[in-house]
Amino acid sequence: MDDRRSDHVVLVAPDGMPLGTALKSAVHTAHTPLHRGFSCHLTNPLGQVLVTRRSLTKRTWPGVWTNSFCGHPAPGESLEEAVMRHARHELNIEVTDVTPVLPDFSYRAVDASGVVEHEICPVVTAALDGDPVPNPDEVLDWRWTSTDRLRAAVDAAPWAFSPWLVLQVPAMALYGSAGESPHTPEGSP
């Protein structure tokens, strides 16, 4: 993939239709436009899920625990290609069995610094047989845990986790329930 293309995000209308592209570095502000993203939850052969702690140098939600990894599909890149690219970049791994589980997930959240995330963000699961070797610019720490333990932790201390993970866990069958695809309304923190 052309590195210049991966520095861009796809801007979208509320129905998901592409509106254009913008530099990723210029998009995440207090007035972030709606754009494409994705979230991936990795599982291992023991049925555990990988959670990661965001690097302290991340622009948004530094140091919080989150799903395995997230990213933005580049212009012209499929969701599966984006997942594979980010898995290599963030965790130095190859994943298999990429499966959409919340294809219509979207959210808007405001970080303590005032930076907004505003994404149409399909959620996928994928399989990993082994352990990650994280890129320290992306991931500070990581753990394999049971889905029950993660669900209990998110319920007990939602402030310690990314807002998108807090919304995803109760909606995913992986964590013991599956409801409607959640989203936060415009302007919600």
Distance (Å) of CA 65 to CA 60, 61, 126, 165: 12, 9, 19, 9
> Rounded to whole angstroms, how far apart are CA atoms 89 and 177?
31
Q: Which of 109, 116, 106, 83 is nearest to 13 (CA)?
A: 106
Which position among 90, 117, 119, 138 bears the catalytic label?
A: 119
Bridge partners, residue 46, by sequence: none
**Distance between the two ends of the chain, CA-based, in angstroms?**
34
Active site residue 121: no
Active site residue 77: no
Which position among 70, 77, 117, 121 bears the catalytic label?
A: 70
Q: Which of 175, 172, 162 is nearest to 101 (CA)?
A: 172
So which residues are the catalytic ones?
70, 119
